[in-house]
Chain A
Amino acid sequence: MLEIAGDVSLFGFRAITSLFSRPLEGDQIRRQIAEVGSKSLLLVIASGFALGAVLTLHTRSTLVTFGATAWIPTVQSLAFFIEIGPLVTGLLVAGRVGSGIGAVLSNMRATEQIDAIESLSIDSFKYLVVPRIIACTLALPVLTLFLDFSGLLGGFLSEYSMSRLSFQSYIASSFASFEWSNFYPPTLKTAVFGFAIGTVSSFLGYTTNEGAQGVGRAATRSVVISSLLIILLDVLLIKFIFFMYPESAL
């Protein structure tokens, strides 16, 4: 286990150092951002919307008891921007994109496509792995914002159906006690999630040597390990955010 963790870390470090060497692989990066970002967008928006609606229903039933239904928009926005948005987006992308990266790269390994790239004097690591890691790292914060705002929209529609609260009032209440430290650090931490998903999935796909059998195994392991890593990183990064922004912990 420690050996694999070390190998993955070296793999990620190699990806970072490769960023500073030519060629920059701009076309590949654009292609992968489209693959990771735009093709995950519908899933992220739909999930955020449903979560927002359901969370409001649950929150309302509790807050009604205390006569605190006016706090619903605030609770909703803080919950989404601080924790639900980053974590759920990370897990969704680990499932959709992580499995795809693991499967594609392991299939390319099994069918000698990676050997073919090397035989053409092209650095297969730079061409295949680095753009995928960059795409995951850049796409996660943007996808998180989409999930956050679609969650707010779902929450608003759910609340509107119960209390006829106007959209302006809902948004004003949502951000009334909101600070930038509630927004920037949690959103930016998803870049770390993206880096982890890209690195783990690429490592498992790129380094497989199990032939056709390894394709399914790499896809499954990519999802499982990426998801566990995101949960672990979430705990560590929350501690780090509390250390850097003590007011967030209050």
Chain B
Amino acid sequence: MIDNGAAAVAFHQVSKSFGAKRVLRDVSFDVHAGEALCILGRSGTGKSVTLKLIISLLKPDNGNIWIEQDEITHLKEADLSRVRRKMGFLFQDAALFDSLTLYEHLALPLLRLSDKSQDELDFVIDRVLKQVGLENDKRKMPSELSGGMRKRAGLARALVLEPKILLADEPSSGLDRITAAEIDELLLKQKAEHKTTLIVVTHDVRGARNVGDRIVVLDRGRLIADGTVGEVEQSENETARNLMSEC
């Protein structure tokens, strides 16, 4: 156990390569509990890799990653499982399971990781589905859901275990402006009502302005700006300034 102050997530000098391609180079940032951090950058700059490193779906080549008090880069599988329970992950294309109904998607982690009775299970699932506006769709299969509904379903699955930290990979990708704004609203509501720490990867600058308390900008694997919207807009780095002026 390492004392990491008040940070919910901390990245210290993290590097990651795939073969000869270096995706992240000495990236460091902290995210405080209850804060919403947006990670901005163009495609292929290591944004999604950053999220997968946080939830330990990937291991870094160098550096340290803390989730609250746990340094996760060398944790064993059983301890990783405990740490992952603090987090929910909304995948870019929702990553719903083809063979399960929406109800079964939410029941799966609850049955595995809690000892709730059937009534309690139904109550929690109904509450979460209502929260994302899918209370009438719980018997539907993923193939019956629209793009926006799939995102909401993925969000419901990520929220069903009441995570302290919510990771969202391109929550607005593939959605029209109105539906994307609705997803952003759901994220903000989750943060406001449950004090959830949000880490949102996006290339949608408008969404990042709405959701983020802070923004970090990645470019070619390096962190080039870190601050509030206003601070990044005034950044010394031209790429970061240009990115913020895109919307």
List A residues at the B interface (Cβ < 8 Å): 23, 107-108, 111-113, 115-123
Contact = CB atoms under 8 A, between A and B. Distances in A.
B228 interface: no
Contacts of A112: 91-93, 95
B95 A122 contact: no
Interface in B55-80: 55, 57, 77
A188 to B, nearest CB: 31
Contact of A113 (B88, B97, B113): B97
B153 to A, nearest CB: 11
Contacts of A121: 81-82, 84-85, 109, 112-113
Contacts of B11: none
A38 B157 CA distance: 32
Contacts of B96: 113, 116
Contacts of B84: 118-121
Interface residues of B, number: 24
Contacts of B161: 120
10 contacts: A111-B93, A115-B89, A116-B97, A119-B55, A119-B88, A119-B89, A120-B112, A120-B113, A121-B113, A123-B77
A116 B95 contact: yes
A119 B93 contact: no
B109 A115 contact: no
Interface of B: 52, 55, 57, 77, 81-82, 84-85, 87-89, 91-93, 95-98, 108-109, 112-113, 157, 161
Contacts of A113: 95-98
A116 B109 contact: no
A79 B96 CA distance: 47
A124 to B, nearest CB: 10
Contacts of B112: 23, 120-122
Nearest to B52: A115
A195 B222 CA distance: 47
Given A111-B95, A121-B112, A122-B112, A116 B89 contact: yes
Contact of A122 (B52, B57, B82, B108): B108
A83 B229 CA distance: 73
B113 A119 contact: no
A207 to B, nearest CB: 15
A122 B91 CA distance: 16
A120 B92 CA distance: 16
Contacts of B81: 121
Contacts of B85: 121
Contacts of B95: 111-113, 115-116
B32 to A, nearest CB: 22
Contacts of B88: 119
Which of B57, B77, B157 has the most chain A CB atoms inside 10 A of its CB?
A: B57
A135 to B, nearest CB: 14
B109 A122 contact: yes
Contacts of A111: 93, 95
B229 to A, nearest CB: 29
A115 B108 contact: no
Contacts of A116: 89, 91, 95-97, 157
Contacts of A117: 97
Contacts of A23: 112
B119 to A, nearest CB: 20
A14 to B, nearest CB: 12
Nearest to B18: A209
B109 A120 contact: yes
Contacts of B108: 120, 122
B91 A115 contact: yes
Contacts of B77: 123
A23 B112 CA distance: 9
Nearest to B82: A121
Contacts of B93: 111-112
Nearest to A114: B95
A117 B84 CA distance: 11
A113 B96 CA distance: 6
A189 B112 CA distance: 35
A156 B65 CA distance: 70
A149 B89 CA distance: 51
Contact of A119 (B87, B92, B97, B98): B87
A108 B96 CA distance: 9
Contacts of B87: 119
Contacts of A108: 97-98
A241 B77 CA distance: 41
